[in-house]
Amino acid sequence: MKKQIIIMIIISMLLLSCIATKTITKGSYVNLTSNVINTEVSAEQIGKIRIFYKTDPDFQYTEIGIVEAIARGKEAGLEDLFPELKKQAAIIGSDAVYKIEIQRYNQTGDALHATGIAIKSH
């Protein structure tokens, strides 16, 4: 009986773990050139990606892909989008993201949507 109660608690915790999350973020990329895909990227690699929001890069670059991030939830903000854009950019081996476009909408619940062009420095 005790065992069953513990199992029930674990089940409840697992099911609630996602509901309790205020914002769910997911991202994707489209590879425009034949870039090597990094299936696993470290926090350090993600941290190195530069974001140029409403500004242009200050170095010579080549466009290598398009990245996208969607954050769902009323509390969703840029702090959810930019890390996801950076993660996707790191996956395709770029150095920065620019031409970032952000839209908030409420199609099937509140969501924040961003796209950007992933670039690599020369």
Partner 1 sequence: MRSKIFFSVVLFAAILSSMIGCNYVNKNPDILSQYPYNQVQYVAQPKAIDETIDVVQVTTRGLKANILNTIPELYKKVLEKHHVSEQPVRIHNISITSFTQKESFQVPYQHCTSRTSYSSGKPVITQHCTTLYRTEIRNVLYQKATADIIKMREKN
With binding defined as CB under 8 A, does residue 23 bind partner 1?
no
Answer for which of 41, 49, 64, 76 binds partner 1 (CB under 8 A) is 64
- Closer to partner 1 at the Cβ: 11 or 47? 11
Could you tell me the strand order of the sheet in which 61-72 lies?
24-31, 61-72, 111-121, 96-105, 50-51
**58: helix, strand or coil:** coil
Alpha-carbon span 97 to 68, nearest angstrom = 10
Summarize as ranges the residues that interact with partner 1 (CB under 8 A): 4, 7, 10-11, 14-15, 17-18, 21, 24-34, 37, 62-64, 66-68, 70, 91, 99, 101-108, 111, 113, 115, 117
